[in-house]
């Protein structure tokens, strides 16, 4: 896939991310452990389906951080090759800069 082919997919994923309703999510004490001002990578670990991604999305949204979000489970991204990753990241960054 080319960068131009990734753009509509990334745009839709970004829209879903921005429109996700986080108001009904409960506060978790783990939110306090994420330091968005740190220069170190923040690592969130946990068992499968424990809400790691939801926790991260909630913290980022509440902090108003511009985010490039790509769901690699999206069927339209099936069959991606290593070479495609830079193009899809470029598409996501292009989309974030336009916001």
| Count of residues in the chain | 99
Residue 89 class from Cβ within 10 Å (0-12 exposed, 13-18 middle, 19+ buried)?
middle
The pLDDT tens digits for 8-20 are: 888 898 888 889 9
Compute and round to an integer the Cα radius of gyration of the chain: 15
| pTM strictly above 0.75 | no
pLDDT tens-digit profile of 30-87? Answer: 999 999 999 999 999 999 999 999 999 999 999 999 887 888 888 988 888 888 888 8
Q: How far apart are CA 18 and CA 13, in angstroms?
A: 9
CB atoms within 10 A of CB 84: 16
């Amino acid at each position: 896939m080319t960068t131009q082919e990734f753009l509509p997919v990334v745009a839709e994923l970004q829209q879903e991310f921005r429109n996700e309703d986080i108001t009904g999510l409960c506060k978790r004490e783990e939110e306090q452990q994420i330091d968005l001002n740190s220069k170190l990578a923040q690592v969130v670990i946990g068992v499968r389906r424990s809400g790691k991604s939801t926790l991260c999305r909630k913290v980022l949204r509440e902090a108003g951080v511009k985010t490039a979000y790509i769901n690699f489970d999206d069927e339209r991204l099936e069959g991606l090759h290593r070479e495609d990753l830079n193009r899809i990241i470029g598409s996501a960054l292009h989309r974030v800069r336009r916001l």
